[in-house]
Amino acid sequence: MRHSDILTRDGSVLLICDVQKKCIKPIYKKEAMINNIKSLVSFAGLTGLPVLLTELSPQRFGTTIDEIKGLVPRLEAIKRTKYSCFGNEELTLRLESMNTNRLIVLGMETHISICPTVLDAITRGYSVHVVLNATSAARKVNWKVAIEKMRRAGAVITTADIVMHELMGGTDHPKYEQCLELTKKISDL
């Protein structure tokens, strides 16, 4: 038997929130965040981990940045106007159709979209892992406070490296060598 906070592929989905063109410029440590999101998306592609993508008011804030969208070109973003990704029924319907119970959340802005999404997910009974070094905000203080708020609410705060290793589960994973190369590209925030 394993601890429930250890990630497994079954029932997990990578949720990328609102990494949009018109919002990216002022983001704290944006290069590291983008790099880590790209590594996690590549990892998901190698391991078959499902990915969902959201956009907050794309007509106002633009669509997902090309560096990320290019890795999942056929993935249709869930568009909404509410800060929480659960602000419309589309996310709930997609998660139910995927039979998931665990969200691995990354993106921006941590205090505007990530935090309400995580709190709503916990309220709905999901286990939530927030990837510390794949989230950010324009102001470092907002990022830090939102992370602490989510931790107090019951989210597991993790890193891109930990996510990859937990989902691989060991050196016997068939894509271990390729995944290990991705872990070496992880940046500190």
Q: How far apart are the first and last CA of the chain?
A: 33
The pLDDT assigned to 183 comes to: 87
pLDDT tens profile 88-100 = 899 999 999 999 9
Domain residues of the chain, as ranges? 12-183
Question: 43-78: b or e for each residue (b if 16 or more CB lie within 10 Å)?
Answer: bbebbebbbbbbbbebeeeebbbeebbebbeebebb
Helix (H) or strand (E) run with residue 152 in it: helix 140-153
Residue 2 has pLDDT above 90, yes or no: no
**pLDDT tens string 98-150:** 999 999 999 999 999 999 999 999 999 999 999 999 999 999 999 999 999 99
Confidence of residue 180 (pLDDT cuts 50, 70, 90): confident
Query: Which pLDDT value is given to residue 188?
Result: 84
Any idea which residue has 């995944």 for tokens? 179
pLDDT score at 189: 74
Asked if residues 120 and 86 have their Cβ atoms less than 8 Å apart, the reply is: yes
The domain over range 12-183 is classified in CATH as 3.40.50.850 = yes
Residues 24-67 pLDDT 10s: 999 999 999 999 999 999 999 999 999 999 999 999 999 999 99
Report CA 112 to chain centroid distance, whole Å. Answer: 14
